[in-house]
Amino acid sequence: METRINRKLSSRGGGRQRANSRVSLETHEAALKAIRAFLKGRTSYDVFPVSFRTIVLDNKLEIKKALNALLTNSVVSAPLWNGDTARFAGMFTVQDIIHLIQYYYLHYQNFSYDTVGHDVEQFRLESLREIERDLGVPTPPLISIHPMKPLWDACQLLISTHARRLPLLDIQPTGEEVILSVLTQYRALKAIATNVKEIVHLQMSLKNLGIGTYRKEPTSENPYFPIATATMKTTVFDVVHMFSNLGISAVPIVDDEGIVVNLYETVDVITLVRLGVYQHLDLTIEEALERRPQDFPGVITCTGKDTLYSLLKLIRLRRVHRLVVIEGEEGRKGRLAGIITLSDILRYVIGTESIPQPTAVQSHTSAPSTSTSTADTPGSAGPSS
């Protein structure tokens, strides 16, 4: 099935790059300082609209009911609530479903789709961590942050723990926990793109800035090393295996010449699970894509020559989760060159020198102190939030 790439970033209008110009470098650094000042001057709660909703799931809920709740409300994750202790119990995400599918398909004796399907649907959210331990995949950290903590602290915590979302947890005078919402990498970056006018000066190219993962020397196992890829003939379950083992949420689909023809995401698998069509996991990607909903937004691509400003401008206009970097004459040939995630972008604008070590990171549920945070000083580990 021929698939058209729907959108490509353009640096046109962003101004002529002057990467080697001293003035350009100075304005670039000034723009980064403006971004960091914005993050330190706003709270996590500030980036949410006046009216919003939060979906919270009881951790005793069955998987299929939880999936229906997510998809009905057009979200892909939700905080978990332990009714026995009346406390926040972690996050339920599509990656949990990927791990669950892999567990049953790798460990189930006397395999049958009906039996596996029944067990997956009856599985309760509270047992997800046991599956991760059995598979040997990292257990997601139980992290949260007070909504009135600086947005800078929240972004540091997202990057240092490799998390894609961070629950905002308030504590009532009675000691009761209240989940207000969930801060995502996308929401933080959109707040930057919308409110920091200095981003127009970020005219250096994405590849020169080192933002993203780029194709290196091929290996015998992976011609696109270190990027995981698949073809139209790869089975869905083989891609599920990549999702689980590598902790990724999307795989570029390439042809024999390395041209990017599509992208297969964890959400595509979740749709099959929700519908109970488990036998589709043995289908090829080409066959599975024919069952994809018509509202799929398409593959968003860019080139290594595009600027950070053009990328942030796109984030301001539409929801973006990742970009596939392509190469060729003006990018038209679409050969796979790399992939850029929101983590890559956020890590760059925060600056790796200011990110605390993961071993120092803990859950943060208390209200912020009235004293000045040491995290206001770039390069300081500051409080572990």
- pLDDT grade for 208, boundaries at 50, 70 and 90: very high
Residues 6+ positions from 100 with CB-CB distance below 8 Å: 63, 120, 123, 128, 131
CATH number, domain of 326, equals 3.10.580.10
225 and 339 in a single domain? The answer is yes
Is 292 in the same domain as 331?
yes
* Owning domain of residue 240: 7-18+192-350
- Of 128, 163, 184, at which residue does a domain stop? 184
CA distance 149 to 376: 12
Q: Which of 132, 154, 184 is the last residue of a domain?
A: 184
Give the CA distances from residue 205 to residues 7, 303, 332, 344, 352, in Å, rounded to whole numbers and listed in that order.
19, 9, 18, 14, 19
- Shared-domain flag, residues 327 and 293: yes
Q: How far apart are CA 193 and CA 316, in angstroms?
A: 5
Neighbours of 259 (CB within 10 A): 15
Q: Is 357 a domain residue?
A: no
Residues 135, 61 share a domain = yes
* Number of structural domains the chain divides into: 2
Q: Is the pLDDT of residue 242 over 70?
A: yes
Is 38 a member of any domain?
Answer: no
How would DSSP label each residue in 231-253?
-TTSBHHHHHHHHHHHT-SEEEE
**Predicted confidence (pLDDT) per residue in 284-298, tens digit:** 999 888 878 777 778
Residue 362 lies in a domain: no
Confidence of residue 326 (pLDDT cuts 50, 70, 90): very high
| Co-location of 14 and 139 in the same domain | no
Phi, psi (degrees; rounded to nearest 5) at 207: -70, -40
What are the two backbone dihedrals, phi and then psi, of residue 299, each rounded to the nearest 5 degrees? -90, 125
The share of the chain scoring above pLDDT 70, in percent, equals: 78
CA distances from 368 to 73, 150, 292 (A): 32, 9, 45
Q: How far apart are CA 274 and CA 224, in angstroms?
A: 32
Query: Which has the higher per-residue pLDDT, 236 or 120?
Result: 236
332 confidence band (pLDDT: 50, 70, 90): low
90 and 215 belong to one structural domain: no
Q: Is residue 26 part of a domain?
A: no
Average pLDDT over residues 325-341: 81
Q: What pLDDT score was predicted for residue 123?
A: 81
Residue 324, helix vs strand vs coil: strand
214 and 327 in a single domain? The answer is: yes
Question: Using CA of residue 207, residue 232, residue 67, residue 94, what is the dihedral sign?
Answer: negative
Q: Which of 40, 323, 358, 357 is nearest to 188 (CA)?
A: 40
For residue 33, tell me if it sits in a domain: no
Q: Does pLDDT of 80 surpass 50?
A: yes
Is the same domain home to 226 and 298? yes
Where is mean pLDDT largest: 76-90, 126-140, 272-286? Answer: 76-90
Q: What is the pLDDT of residue 150?
A: 97
Q: What is the mean pLDDT of residues 9-29?
A: 59
